[in-house]
Structure 1
Amino acid sequence: MTEAKQKLEQQLWNIANTLRGKMGADEFRDYILGFIFYKYLSRKMELHADKILKPDGLTFRQLEGHPQEDIYLEAVKEDALVHLGYYLKPSELFSELARRGNGNGKSKFILGDLSKVLSNIEQSTMGSESEEDFGNLFEDLDLTSSKLGKSEEAKNELIVKVLTHLDEVDFDLENTKSDVLGDAYEYLIGKFASGAGKKAGEFYTPQQVSKVLAKLVTIGKEQIRNVYDPTCGSGSLLLRVSKETEVGAFYGQESNPTTYNLCRMNMIMHDVHYKRFDIHNEDTLENPSPEHIDERFEAIVANPPFSAKWSASPLFMSDDRFSPYGKLAPKTKADFAFVQHMVHQLSETGTMACVLPHGVLFRGAAEGHIRKFLIKDRNYLDAVIGLPANVFYGTGIPTCILVLKKSREDSKDILFIDSSEHYEKIKTQNYLREKDVEKIIDTYKNRSSIDKYSYVATLEEVKENDYNLNIPRYVDTFEEEEPVDLKAIASELKNLEQDIKTTDAEIADFCNQLGIEQPF
């Protein structure tokens, strides 16, 4: 399975590089992921239709020109909209377009047909239950962009080349027990994130960090009713939770329209049925989705944008998410506003884990007030975990994970973990290794104090520190240096001085022999 996964990942990355040209990583990302998604939908449609038509001894492709073509297609469409959420005609299948574009080894003009097909996929859902889940999914796939080529012929030739290469790749969708394609899609998203600089943080959380968050919120649970990410990006965090436990439903919000589309594609590519995910294109803080605000979630995971700006409007003081605290997060640092929002959405028996910049642990004013309220008045904070610097794409700042619960088993203390020095450096990026992830999770599970790594602090100790959560206040990582042997150093200096005198004498002798002035 690993070999097949690696082969598929390499094949898709090679095809992606065909599009690279003058585009930035985020631009050719949208094209290649869009085309892969189109092929996925196409193959799923064909497999589903063939299954429906099998009792009649027909395949989906054989319906074209059949005496009862219209009747069969209508029946297939009706069933597909319920089970898949969308519909394509046999003539709109990916392989059919790739074949037409590469007729007799020569590129034929298909850009118009391709645009129409992508539009038809979205239009097929109009009036159905899946309309919102498939609406505008391909809006970032601009086939008129000059980035694809200066002329229409050049654009067409490039697109035909990409479709032809993709058509030769086996997605192995017949194997229902495999998620090789979903993993490969996630791999591509990660590759694009590594080259996207600061923009990477908008849509991707590194896999090992995702794994830590997912494990933290699922400990001891074989299944959970739902999981929520208020800043869901590409959806990688939500999907990671489903690798740890069985998830009933996925909820998320994302303010960036392009990333919102990517998240929905990612869900569908991982074979999450459209009825099981509810993703909205909304600003979580300013305009939370009305369909989510009354929901309470068993698991919440998030990697909000670090120290983002928000309005901090006084009107929010009457918002149930913020009013109990008596303070709003500052306009220039919305970190605690995201925490307040998530706490409001957390169920009484749920767990939330979110990544935040270290400043939330010790900054004063309104943030200090909110921090004190969460600990003293609500006693929701369960653990503080320090991560290494430079583990996120686009920023080198050190970060931490806050774990919060409304019903804490260990309500008399807070666990502090310092994992900042546990990582592997590869080129310019730091990575959590598998053993680093496991150590964090094992320490959290056992709630153990480990020398220079973790400490279980009583609430009284936290109070004595005026609710400052800076990790070095609780976990002592100071390493004593070996004592300096002054006598040995003095002896070395004497020896060096003698060596210098001997060398100076030799140089002086050489200079005299050569009849030149001495340099000293």
Structure 2
Amino acid sequence: MNDTFVTQTKTLIDELKAVCASYGLGNDGNEFKIISQVFLYKFLNDKFAYEVKKLKPELATSDNWEADIAKMKDADYQLLQFQLGESTAFLKPHQLIGYLFNRQEEPDFAKRVDDTLIDIAVSNNDLFAVKTEDGQKIQLFERLTEYVSSKRDAFAKALFNKLTLFNFENIMGEGFDFFSTIFEYLIKDYNSDAGGKYAEYYTPHAVSKIIANILVPEPTSNVTIYDPSAGSGTLLMNLAHAIGPDKCTVYSQDISQKSSNLLRLNLVLNNLVHSIENVIQGNTMTDPYHKQNSKLRQFDYIVSNPPFKLDFSDDVDTLNKKENKARFFAGIPNVPKKKKESMAIYTLFLQHIIYSLKEGSGKAAIVVPTGFITAQSGIEKKIREKIVDSKMLAGVVSMPSNIFATTGTNVSIVFLDAANKGDVVLMDASNLGTTNKEGKNQKTLLSPKEEDTIISTFTNKEAIEDFSVVVNYESIKTKNYSLSAGQYFEVKIEYIDITAKEFESKMHDFENNLETLFDKSKLLEKEIVSNLKTLRYD
């Protein structure tokens, strides 16, 4: 990964944030929209330039390539659209950054910028729009300068002055590691959803890497991958990277419009534009969108870091409808009387994932609270019985505490594999990692070596003392369907060879010690009785 480009890209993001702050938008809810969409416009502009120059090499050496393509005949320019392919937004000469930059002193520059962004969004709507569960399309861009209450022209100029300082054309060949680093940096100040629903926007790199590598130990192609609580798509991007962007199609759903926009940006950065049409903003539990032949679609791979607890009380009647009985086979979690927000919603996502997994071959990985793997009754127990009795469990990895800095809940990763009829791997990785301070929270970080140890141990089905066990389905049933590795570890008893004479001597010592302890106990008892009598008379 090119450190220079990383630094330059991060600097661009910081500069855009500084502009927003200087115009009163620092920590404002709209700052995220402006930063992410301006960044995306810059990336699409430079991606267009990169692809056009590959088609017409003479433009790469031109002093002003934008002026040169503006002189092209309309028919020739339109031909470019077909030659570019589906992953590149098609821009017209007057929509390019250079064209707008040269007109920033003209009246109503902010309006010109907003009009341009909307025109780009409309003309590329079929490729870049995110859909809602009822079929409406959410466009690529909004009228961004309208979020500033005054000095809109100056604000637009300030943004464009930053966009010309750095060129993405030089890093189009960089891979997933580069763009995942940039994406994490871009959203780090907006990685929360106060009052919203569904999962965190960003799943820790260690968790994403472990999941992707365990699910895809060897090459595969032409597969579907799905996340019913996608957030920003971190799990999906890592999984797609392990498979290959051109070898998989991404499907997702999340109730948050913010997270859907983040996922769209992530797909653009990672050469998965062909999957944007499958990004759905909507409630997966009440209105699952992805269907095939009028039934819920089944997927080759499913990943999810669902919300653990959330108030879904308004949806209980819908969830309990007859058409959902098969999907929610273990039942709907109770709504707590006092704290509705403590409803164990993750159990619904788990059941939905099991129902959406391709029969006989599907694989999945779900982040769950560790309490799930040992619960003795209720929905949790029924779900474990289902995956064990159906022989669709690959294993469980219990992670270190604070692997997520934003929650103190201990988590485990449940791996499903509809094809695994043999042994199951149960792993206790809770003692790995080092603890670091992240803001006000503690966070446990795994080293690359520790991540690789988890992956290789699981993949190779290795039994390592006090770390992992390999068990069969029948053994799990005898342990009341517990998926905790610790309950399967062997109890170690140490034996020491001694002679009969040594044995008699040790027993004699034990007897003497017991007699001494009994005598002390009697004296203590008499002292207590005496003190009680004295207190009573006093």
TM-score (norm 1): 0.78
Cα offset for 1:191? 2.5
Residue 109 (structure 2) pairs with residue 95 (structure 1): no
Q: Aligned partner of 1:157: which letter?
A: A
In the other structure, the counterpart of 1:492 is none
In the other structure, the counterpart of 1:136 is 138
Cα offset for 1:394? 2.1
Question: Matches of 2:92 and 2:316 in 1, distance apart?
Answer: 50
Residue 367 (structure 2) pairs with residue 369 (structure 1): no
Question: Matches of 2:187 and 2:171 in 1, distance apart?
Answer: 26
Cα offset for 1:319? 2.8
Question: Matches of 1:477 and 1:201 in 2, distance apart?
Answer: 39
Residue 238 (structure 2) pairs with residue 240 (structure 1): yes
In 2 relative to 1, CA 290–252 (structure 1 residues): closer, same or farther, beyond 3 Å?
closer
Cα contact 1:229–1:300 (8 A) shared by 2: yes
Question: Matches of 1:418 and 1:458 in 2, distance apart?
Answer: 17
Residue 301 (structure 2) pairs with residue 303 (structure 1): no
**Cα displacement string for residues 474-505 of structure 1 (whole angstroms, at most 9, x for unaligned residues):** 35899x9xxxxxxxxxxxxxxxxxxxxxxxxx
Cα contact 1:122–1:136 (8 A) shared by 2: no
Residue 318 (structure 2) pairs with residue 287 (structure 1): no
In the other structure, the counterpart of 1:111 is 110
Q: Aligned partner of 2:424: which letter?
A: I
Cα contact 2:128–2:276 (8 A) shared by 1: no
Aligned with 1:448 (options 449, 462, 466): 462
Residue 427 (structure 2) pairs with residue 417 (structure 1): yes
Q: Aligned partner of 1:400: which letter?
A: S
**Cα displacement string for residues 118-158 of structure 1 (whole angstroms, at most 9, x for unaligned residues):** 111121035x5665579534456742224xxx52x1x4434
Cα offset for 1:288? 0.5
In the other structure, the counterpart of 1:487 is none
In the other structure, the counterpart of 2:362 is 350
In the other structure, the counterpart of 2:204 is 206
Cα contact 1:361–1:470 (8 A) shared by 2: yes
**Cα displacement string for residues 63-97 of structure 1 (whole angstroms, at most 9, x for unaligned residues):** 43x4x6443444445655x5346432211112332
SS of match in other structure, 1:100: coil
Aligned with 2:165 (options 152, 164, 168): 168
In the other structure, the counterpart of 1:495 is none
In 2 relative to 1, CA 358–156 (structure 1 residues): closer, same or farther, beyond 3 Å?
farther
SS of match in other structure, 1:280: strand
SS of match in other structure, 1:274: helix
**Cα displacement string for residues 16-65 of structure 1 (whole angstroms, at most 9, x for unaligned residues):** 4413465338653332221111011112223334455669999553243x
Cα offset for 1:408? 0.3
Q: Aligned partner of 2:397: which letter?
A: I
Gap runs ≥5 in structure 2: 336-342, 495-538
Count of aligned positions:
462
Q: Aligned partner of 1:473: which letter?
A: Q
Question: Matches of 1:259 and 1:235 in 2, distance apart?
Answer: 8
Q: Aligned partner of 1:328: which letter?
A: I
Aligned with 2:346 (options 328, 335, 344): 335
In the other structure, the counterpart of 1:380 is 392
Cα offset for 1:450? 1.5
SS of match in other structure, 1:144: helix
Question: Matches of 2:288 and 2:414 in 1, distance apart?
Answer: 22
**Cα displacement string for residues 441-498 of structure 1 (whole angstroms, at most 9, x for unaligned residues):** 11101212222211223434422332233444335899x9xxxxxxxxxxxxxxxxxx
Deviates further, 110-119 or 198-207:
198-207
In 2 relative to 1, CA 236–141 (structure 1 residues): closer, same or farther, beyond 3 Å?
farther
In the other structure, the counterpart of 2:418 is 406
Cα contact 1:418–1:475 (8 A) shared by 2: no
Question: Matches of 1:473 and 1:27 in 2, distance apart?
Answer: 50
Question: Matches of 1:195 and 1:9 in 2, distance apart?
Answer: 23
Residue 327 (structure 2) pairs with residue 322 (structure 1): yes
Cα contact 2:232–2:262 (8 A) shared by 1: yes
In 2 relative to 1, CA 193–452 (structure 1 residues): closer, same or farther, beyond 3 Å?
farther
Cα offset for 1:201? 4.5
Question: Matches of 2:252 and 2:352 in 1, distance apart?
Answer: 13
In 2 relative to 1, CA 459–181 (structure 1 residues): closer, same or farther, beyond 3 Å?
closer
Q: Aligned partner of 2:355: which letter?
A: H
SS of match in other structure, 1:47: helix
Cα offset for 1:116? 0.8
Aligned with 1:191 (options 180, 188, 192): 188
Q: Aligned partner of 2:46: which letter?
A: R
The equivalences for 1:26-105 within 5 A come to 27-52=30-55, 59-64=65-70, 66=71, 69-77=73-81, 83-84=86-87, 86-101=89-104
Question: Matches of 2:465 and 2:178 in 1, distance apart?
Answer: 43
In 2 relative to 1, CA 436–12 (structure 1 residues): closer, same or farther, beyond 3 Å?
farther
Q: Aligned partner of 1:90: which letter?
A: P
In 2 relative to 1, CA 263–321 (structure 1 residues): closer, same or farther, beyond 3 Å?
farther
Cα offset for 1:338? 0.9
Aligned with 1:225 (options 214, 223, 226): 223
Deviates further, 456-465 or 137-146:
137-146
Residue 436 (structure 2) pairs with residue 426 (structure 1): yes
In 2 relative to 1, CA 215–309 (structure 1 residues): closer, same or farther, beyond 3 Å?
farther
In 2 relative to 1, CA 12–207 (structure 1 residues): closer, same or farther, beyond 3 Å?
farther
Cα offset for 1:329? 3.9
SS of match in other structure, 2:363: strand
Question: Matches of 1:216 and 1:167 in 2, distance apart?
Answer: 42
SS of match in other structure, 1:305: coil
Question: Matches of 1:79 and 1:87 in 2, distance apart?
Answer: 10
**Cα displacement string for residues 289-347 of structure 1 (whole angstroms, at most 9, x for unaligned residues):** 14465432222111111223433436444337526x35334451121211111122222
SS of match in other structure, 1:356: strand
**Cα displacement string for residues 329-378 of structure 1 (whole angstroms, at most 9, x for unaligned residues):** 445112121111112222221211111112322332232222222222x1
Cα offset for 1:108? 7.2
Deviates further, 395-404 or 263-272:
263-272
SS of match in other structure, 1:349: coil
Cα offset for 1:420? 1.4
In the other structure, the counterpart of 1:494 is none
Cα offset for 1:421? 1.8
Cα contact 2:231–2:263 (8 A) shared by 1: yes
Residue 449 (structure 2) pairs with residue 435 (structure 1): yes
Q: Aligned partner of 2:331: which letter?
A: K
Question: Matches of 1:52 and 1:300 in 2, distance apart?
Answer: 38
Cα contact 1:389–1:398 (8 A) shared by 2: yes
SS of match in other structure, 2:138: coil
In the other structure, the counterpart of 1:257 is 257
Residue 122 (structure 2) pairs with residue 123 (structure 1): yes
TM-score (norm 2): 0.76
Q: Aligned partner of 1:97: which letter?
A: L
Question: Matches of 2:381 and 2:489 in 1, distance apart?
Answer: 21
Question: Matches of 2:379 and 2:308 in 1, distance apart?
Answer: 17
Question: Matches of 1:368 and 1:42 in 2, distance apart?
Answer: 52
**Cα displacement string for residues 92-121 of structure 1 (whole angstroms, at most 9, x for unaligned residues):** 1123323433x5xxx975221111111111
Deviates further, 38-47 or 7-16:
7-16
Cα contact 1:217–1:300 (8 A) shared by 2: no
